[in-house]
Amino acid sequence: MVVTGDPALQGKVRAHVATWLQQHGFTINAKALAPDALKTLTSCFVIEDMACARGVVEHQATSDFLVFVRAELVGGKRSKEANLVAYWFLKDRDAAVDKRNCKPCTGAVLAKTTGELIGAIYDETALAKARLAIKEPPGLVVMLDGVNVGVTPIEQDVAPGAHQISLVRDEVTLGGVSLDVKAGDLTDVKVPIKPPDAVASPGHPRPPPPPEVRADPVEHRSHLVPGVILVAGAATVVTGGVFLYYGHKGGPDDPLIYPHATRQGAIIAGAGGAAVIAGLLLWWHASASANGPTASVTPAVTMIGWAGQF
């Protein structure tokens, strides 16, 4: 802790700052800076060079953080108005800074103003915040609670509590995670990423898979009816042959034993022959309908061929 400024205020402000730090669990290091380093730090603030001040704290301070307060009277030594400016330095972090106007800057008002000032800069430090590290995969936009905070890999200080993190590429959310963090936590955040083919943007919907084309199912017609007709036709032809045989029994010069058998046999044999022809045609048609071209197209393979019974 370092307090500079008007000598009339330094002691009081130092006491109030020490009280606040101790009430909030901090231990004051009376030798956080060597005398030469303290002079250098004060000179940095005189010329308002924050890089200089941060360099002194980074390389010469023996504490993890340093609180620097400057108290200046406004309007002369008899004035009861003052401006208080405070800096909270942490190594490897930018300093948190805030200021307050104190009027009249005496007694309880000075104590209250100093306490509010130190509390305000503490709330801005990493000590009062959690830190998130999102490293993988690289090159993705990080949306923290709906706000773009940069591109992976990135580290970000956040207020304690619940937060939502999403990783985005080309306006497409690839993954997200919710988490609850506490002050002082350093969390290495792992965001599960969806496969690219499982994600589609509103303006660029994921294309549908290629259609699968299949041939119409082959119609298998029964051979029962043609077979029955063939058998019946063949039997009818045989029957007609028998009639013809008995119609001519005894020779061409002998009297006919069955005078009408010849004519009837011819009719029956003709009907049987027609039935045989019809049966053969139906059999061929049933066999032909069971054969035909077929094609199948899938994302992995395309097949063209002939399906049927052989």
Query: Going residue by residue through the chain (310 aa), what tens digit of pLDDT does each one get?
Result: 888 888 888 899 999 999 999 988 888 887 888 889 989 988 998 888 888 988 998 888 888 889 999 999 887 777 788 999 999 988 777 888 999 999 888 889 999 999 999 999 988 887 777 888 998 889 999 999 999 999 999 988 888 889 999 999 988 999 999 999 888 788 899 988 877 655 555 555 555 555 555 555 545 566 677 667 667 767 776 676 666 666 665 555 555 555 666 666 667 667 766 766 776 777 666 666 545 555 554 444 445 555 555 4
Instruction: State the Cα–Cα distance between residues 32 and 60, nearest whole angstrom.
Output: 8
Burial class (CB in 10 A: 0-12, 13-18, 19+), 288: exposed
The two structure tokens encoding residue 86: 């405070």
Sheet holding 82-90, edge to edge: 2-5, 65-73, 82-90, 96-102
How many C-beta neighbours within 10 Å does residue 209 have?
Answer: 9
What pTM does this model have? 0.50
In Å, what is the CA distance from 20 to each residue of 23, 117, 182, 251, 256?
Answer: 5, 10, 22, 146, 145
